Amino acid sequence: MAAKGIRIQGLKKRYGSGDTAVDALKAVDMHVASGEVVGLIGPSGSGKTTLLKCLGAVIEPTAGKMILGDDIIYDDGWKIKDLRALRRDRIGFVFQAPYLIPFLDVTDNVALLPMLAGIPNTEARKRAIELFKELGVEHRAKAMPSQLSGGEQQRVAIARGLVNRPPVILADEPTAPLDSERALAVIRILNNMAKKFETAIIVVTHDEKIIPTFKRIYHIRDGVTYEEEGQGRGFE
């Protein structure tokens, strides 16, 4: 197991207290190595959304441990003082909808995050352009979001998730609105980017089109995770 990536041990989340307490997460153990793309699958009410919010430092778990790269970020309490900086710099997010800022061009949509992290504007835009080259949307660098196709918007959103070079990316239903060809293209891109940038990627999905591509899958049921080997099919 590579030292980088993300590891979760005995993660729990309880809402409320006493007789009305609800254990949304009871025992979550996961590890995703650098360069790996892993599926997270579970029915509604399984704890999937709660787990994603804990992994993204949006809500605080009740107990357990989370290790990001070589750093313990949670051990029965947050070990990182600035959670906003953690979310901005060390965790990338890719959502079902791209959520691009409509009044900024594509380059500034992606460059904004590193700028907020203190990276000079020129360097931030250079990073964005480099990612556009990797993702095949370099020719759209000056376009406004409204001028892009759905597939192009999703590629820009992936660039935004990668631009601060985070050790982990959380992708929440990234292929849900896409047809089979475009869905598989997005997963191919995520796999290529994971390897190139040594990023651990967790893809939350219900999408039967892409589930066979994962080499490893975590199922979550009633707040407990179960690991299984995936099919690891190619993308053709």
Single-letter residue type at 221: R
What does pTM read for this prediction? 0.88
- The stretch 146-158 carries a mean pLDDT of 90
- Tokens 């959520």 belong to 99
Lookup: tokens for 44? 């509604």
**CATH (one of 2.40.110.10, 3.40.50.300, 3.40.50.880, 3.40.50.720) for 33-58+79-229:** 3.40.50.300
- Taking alpha carbons only, the member of 2, 1, 59 closest to residue 25 is 59
CA angle 85, 98, 224 (to 5 degrees): 65
Instruction: Name the E strands within 48-199.
Output: 63-68, 71-75, 91-94, 168-172
Instruction: Name the E strands within 33-116.
Output: 37-41, 63-68, 71-75, 91-94
* Segment 214-229, tens digit of pLDDT: 999 999 999 999 999 8
Average pLDDT, the chain: 90
Which residues neighbour 18 within 8 Å (Cβ) at sequence distance 6 or greater? none
**Domain boundaries, given as residue ranges, for the chain:** 33-58+79-229
Other C-beta atoms lying within 10 Å of the C-beta of residue 190: 24
* Segment 64-120, tens digit of pLDDT: 999 998 899 999 999 999 999 999 889 998 888 888 999 999 999 999 999 998 999
